[in-house]
Structure 1
Amino acid sequence: MYRKEFFVFDQDKPVKAIIRNYEEKDFSNLIRVQQESFPPPFPSDLWWNREQLRNHITLFPEGALCVEIDGNIAGSMTGLLVDYDPDSPDHTWEEITDNGYIRTHNPDGNTVYVVDISVSPAYRKLGLGKWLMLSMYEVVIQLGVDRLLGGGRMPGYHKHADEMSAQQYLDAVIKGEVKDPVITFLLRCGRSPVRVVENYLEDEDSHNYGALMEWKNPFKKF
């Protein structure tokens, strides 16, 4: 199982952090993080529920990570294993993650797929999202699979949808001409774009598009 202790910085002040696998005793706090990260009008039925979280720690505990600051859970990241074919990349978030229940988990899969990553707003200045992502890369290496993969929202796209396609928007973000809250973050974490996927998830700001982005295991030959 996974456990890592390190320091993050609140301006110039070191703050101790722990990233570890989450457990059943953490469920209430994990749901709280979802509530704080996605407040109304975000639909409450899209927050984690206990059945989903129980599936995460039962089916793929290696992919169930949380980060603690001063004993408080400040964020989490969840994955599952899938058998990904780069020649047939199109899918929706709902179908590949089983709507977050991860009953689609394949123990023999070649790819860790990101179900969710969230950090409570009060802790975002500490860079915990990037630390969670880096930790999931370590899970990829430990398991010896090919990549980490996931679809990112493009919440800034609605501001540019009248003047460019979703692919043109993604290209503009990659060139640094436009900043996107999610895609720019994923680029900063080392993820690389694969393609734009239409109808990836219900998200008005992204016009339902998602940007499929990966991180390849540097110890594997492709």
Structure 2
Amino acid sequence: MHKSFYVFNGVNGKAAPVKTVIRQYTERDFEAMIDVQRESFPPPYPEELWWSKDQMIEHISRFPQGALCAEIGGRIVGSMTGLMIDMKDYGHDHSWETITDNGYIRNHNPNGDTLYVADICVIPEYRKTGIGKWLMQSMYETVVQLGLGRLLGAGRMPGYHLYAAELTPDQYVDRVMAGELQDPVINFLLRCGRTPIGIAANYLDDEQSGNFAVLMEWRNPFTTYSE
């Protein structure tokens, strides 16, 4: 994977197009990747969940097609990491640690039917440019290229803590889908073409989401997939 395009990043729409590259990350990018994690996931996000060099070595050796970064002017500004799995081995109610092998993806299954998103992030400076959607689109292309049935991942629900006393996680997602509530992560994934299919409890130590996450998929339109 290596492609280039242009994004706009400026105030009041006054910005020149900036060339952006999406490519597979390699060992020489590890320090920059950790910086991206640090900027993208500040407290209260647990620091120990940032990628480590040992984890990234596994990413690029086991499934390099699922190890993508976005680069502008030689600076990495975002990344996305995935692995292939067979969902029959896990079911919907799984944790991030279980389904990603605690981020090491040693459970990557080359014969799996689903590309599972372990992580996607863009540094705050570039979050209004569409780079996140470009990363997602690039991973959809990987799904199509490999002939997989779908892309699946669990999104945080950072607005849920404001309503947890009155709404179940499913009710919260229903209200977001009805346009009655706004959730930045769920709305972002919807704009990327993802569809909610369920809730995972105790997915991640995430106070804002009440440790819940919403499972959202994108189905490969060129295959017939049945779970």
TM range (shorter): over 0.9
* Number of residue equivalences: 221
Q: Pick from 193, 197, 200: which aligns with 1:197?
A: 200
Q: Pick from 63, 68, 73: which aligns with 1:70?
A: 73
TM-score, normalised to structure 1, is 0.96
User: Conserved in 1, the CA contact under 8 Å of 2:80 and 2:119?
Assistant: yes
Unpaired stretches in structure 1, ≥5 consecutive residues: none
**CA positional deviation for 1:124:** 1.2
Q: What's the counterpart of residue 96 of structure 1?
A: 99
Which amino acid in structure 1 is aligned with residue 118 of structure 2?
Answer: V
**CA positional deviation for 1:173:** 0.7
Task: Report the aligned-residue RMSD.
Answer: 1.4
The within-5 A match list for 1:44-193 is 44-85=47-88, 88-193=91-196
Which amino acid in structure 2 is aligned with residue 70 of structure 1?
Answer: G
Q: What percentage of aligned pairs have identical amino acids?
A: 59
TM-score, normalised to structure 2, is 0.94
Change (3 A) 1:139 1:71: same
Q: Which 4+ stretches in 1 moved above 6 angstroms?
A: none
Which amino acid in structure 2 is aligned with residue 133 of structure 1?
Answer: M
**CA positional deviation for 1:9:** 1.7
Residues 100-133 of structure 1: per-residue CA shift (max 9 Å, x gap): 0101100111000000001111111212111100
Q: Do residues 15 (structure 1) and 14 (structure 2) align?
A: no
**CA positional deviation for 1:41:** 4.3
Which amino acid in structure 1 is aligned with residue 216 of structure 2?
Answer: M
Change (3 A) 1:104 1:86: closer
Unpaired stretches in structure 2, ≥5 consecutive residues: none
Which amino acid in structure 2 is aligned with residue 6 of structure 1?
Answer: F
* C-alpha distance in structure 2 between counterparts of 1:89 and 1:123, whole Å: 32
**CA positional deviation for 1:86:** 9.9
